[in-house]
Amino acid sequence: LSLGETQEPGQFLGVGGAVKTTLEKTCDAWITAEQVSMNVTTQTGDSLKQKLAYTGWESLDGKRYRFVARSITNGDDKKYKGIAHADSKKSGEAIYSQPKKIKMKLPPGTQFYWGLTSWLIKQARGGASRADAVVFDGTDEEGPQRAIAFIIPLAKKTAKNKLGPLLDRPGWTMRIAFYPLDSRAAMPEYEVQAVVLDNGVTPKLKLVFTSFTAIQTLEKIEALTSPKC
């Protein structure tokens, strides 16, 4: 992780930390595990330290989902756990067991954590330049969000990358804005700008917050063995 653009030059001095993600396919689901450690320092000497640990289980048809997440921000520890189901034609539901019992409706067609990436790749392959979806991941109590993505194909590569064949793939630049589901605001809560390859690998990703941008750059990648089903 590193610091990108800032709204007020000099206010933010740096962003450090790392992200480690594992995506594994089983015979019936995608299992995702992610660990994020981010430290933001400011000119006044203050710092924002955030750690996130997330594990998700998502059925291959995108209809069933289980999630566990823990977020620690400057010592404030929050835990989330629950299950959810979605349907393309009717409303679904998310049920939290932590931090407390919560039930919330999910609109028809809601995408889960990995499902959003998979769905966006499908839209991009079909030639879409804009895509709109509802997404739910369970990493907080805010519930489902509306995601609006703008998609631009990548230019053809002229040289091989240094990280191997998993990155020698066509892909797109995607700018995704996230809004509360019922919001009419013009400004999103946050945005993500990512290079997304057609196999789901993301070599570079920018987290665009209100005051600064954090850049996530891929340094190492390993392929896992596909299951024999």
DSSP lists the bridge partners of residue 78 as 71
What percentage of the chain exceeds 90 in pLDDT?
70
pLDDT in tens, 155-211: 877 567 889 899 999 999 999 999 998 877 778 888 999 999 999 999 999 988 877
pLDDT band at 8 (very low <50, low <70, confident <90, very high): low
**Under a CB-based contact definition with an 8 Å cutoff, are residues 196 and 120 in contact?**
yes
Least confident of 16-25, 41-50, 163-172: 41-50
Mean pLDDT of the chain: 91
pLDDT in tens, 125-140: 999 999 999 999 999 9
**Under a CB-based contact definition with an 8 Å cutoff, are residues 77 and 68 in contact?**
no
For the cut 70, the answer to whether the pLDDT of residue 9 exceeds it is no
Distance CA 217, CA 16 (A): 12
For the cut 80, the answer to whether the pLDDT of residue 45 exceeds it is no
pLDDT in tens, 74-112: 889 999 999 999 999 999 999 999 999 999 999 999 999
**Under a CB-based contact definition with an 8 Å cutoff, are residues 18 and 218 in contact?**
no
Structure tokens at 44: 């006044």
pLDDT band at 226 (very low <50, low <70, confident <90, very high): confident
Q: What is the pTM of this model?
A: 0.86
Residue 44: the pLDDT is 78
27-39 mean pLDDT: 94
10: left (phi over 0), alpha (psi -120 to 50) or beta: left
Q: What DSSP line would sit under 112-167, residue for residue? A: -HHHHHHHHHHHHHTT-SEEEEEE---SSSS--EEEEEEEEEPPPPSS--SS-GGG
pLDDT in tens, 58-80: 999 999 999 999 999 888 999 99
Report how far apart, in Å, the C-alpha atoms of 192 and of each of 25, 93, 125, 216, 223 are. Answer: 25, 26, 20, 11, 25
